[in-house]
Structure 1
Amino acid sequence: MKKALLIIDLQNDFCPGGALAVPEGDQIVPVLNKYIQEFQRKGYPIFASRDWHPRETTHFKEHGGQWPVHCVQNTPGAQFHPALKLPPETIVVSKGMDPREDSYSAFLAQTEEGVCLKDLLKKEQITEIYVGGLATDYCVKFTVLDLLTQGWQVKLLLDGIQAVNLQPDDGQKAIAEMQAKGAVGIRFEQLEI
């Protein structure tokens, strides 16, 4: 069974002080760094998705969407959190580039060469994916559900996710939904790779 780590959207705009901050979103960085270190030590692939919006998109409030402007391509807010220790060999995939789509899921996010995450996982013969990042109730949830629907085994890093919680229990509901579909929740001390 080949494993991989996927870090979802741990970007400045989703952390405290950012344009669309997830409460305490930066608090998961130290534990995600521990996961990164373990996966790197074992030689398993590490993927990192990023929201990578054009300046004008229907995703943003000013163009009819739900959200404030955030993670605009090549801006400081779109950069990964500075304390996140992604190794040089990390495969970065971008999503949200189509101005007409929300693109919450990283499943079809693409490298700069235009290869989508789904195809990369197949090419690398990954069967089990460990997923953490932001936000539990949006991009993490949609990505995990897509992975499960397409037949991958998913380990949800319960200590490496954080929710927006527009409603107080959105994060817990999202975790329950992911687990009901087959995701297995783990914490760092339970990691066996």
Structure 2
Amino acid sequence: MSRALIIVDVQNDFCEGGSLAVKGGAEVAGAISEYVDAHHSQFDYIVATQDWHIEPGGHFADNPDFIDTWPPHCVAGTRGAELHPDLDTEYIQAYFQKGQFTAAYSGFEGILAPEDAVPTGDRKPGAMPLPDDAAAFTASTFADEDAIGLDDWLQSHDVEDVVIVGIATDYCVMATSLDAVQAGYSVTVVRGLTAGIAADLDDAYAEMELGGVDLA
């Protein structure tokens, strides 16, 4: 049995200074880096997800309700879609991009990004290597019938146990964790390595536990 860490959406737009900032996002980015540095040997694989919006339809709104509609964020190829600079990418082995043409909260809606379209090694802010036309490139990748989803990738690497951290606790972390349970994985969410939108996250934690997620 293999074990994987899934780092959910630790992106500039979801951290302080971003277009859809979550309080404590930058702090969580640094805390995840410290956790990975200390515990990477406990995982066979470490992967990350990214919101990667091209034309997500009604997901974006001029007057968002911050429940189902949101201000523009994590637009493909922009700095806001990049991983936060305090998140060390050294041990991340694969990236899964989601929400290209629709709202997508779960990492299990994402597809594997090509190696030349994601940050690797010692990344500097603003240095994410992208094709000249990132949106067109991602659109063609997303339409590829052979595109690899997160579940396919995890299964191909014999992963049965996943630990989930990231942003936001009550949206993408929760959706990813519940989908992971439904897909048959043993799932743990590390509360101290997430940041949520709501001031009170008790309902989100209760929904995750009810759905079969272990909270650490």
Normalised by the shorter chain, which TM-score bucket? 0.7 to 0.9
Residue deviations 1:30-64, cap 9 Å, x none? Answer: 32113322453346211100000015632100498
1:140 matched to 2:141: no
List runs of 5+ in structure 2 lacking aligned partners.
115-146
Residue 97 of structure 1, CA deviation: 0.5
1:127 matched to 2:130: no
1:173 matched to 2:203: yes
Residue 26 of structure 1, CA deviation: 1.2
1:108 matched to 2:109: yes
Helix, strand or coil at the partner of 1:97: coil
* Length, aligned pairs only: 181
Helix, strand or coil at the partner of 2:58: coil
The one-letter code sitting in structure 2 at the alignment partner of 1:91 is A
TM-score by length of 2: 0.78
The one-letter code sitting in structure 2 at the alignment partner of 1:110 is I
Output aligned runs, 1:30-109, within 5 Å.
30-42=30-42, 44-54=44-54, 57-62=57-62, 66-87=69-90, 89-98=92-101, 101-109=102-110
Residue 102 of structure 1, CA deviation: 0.8
Gap change, CA 1:153 and 1:89, over 3 Å in 2: same
Does structure 2 retain, via aligned residues, the 8 Å contact 1:57–1:63?
A: no
Gap change, CA 1:43 and 1:103, over 3 Å in 2: closer
The one-letter code sitting in structure 1 at the alignment partner of 2:41 is R
- Cα RMSD over matched residues? 1.9
Helix, strand or coil at the partner of 2:194: strand
* CA distance in 2 between partners of 1:23 and 1:89 (Å): 24
More displaced stretch, 50-59 vs 61-70: 61-70
List runs of 5+ in structure 1 lacking aligned partners.
187-193
* CA distance in 2 between partners of 1:146 and 1:56 (Å): 21
Helix, strand or coil at the partner of 2:57: coil
* CA distance in 1 between partners of 2:178 and 2:47 (Å): 17
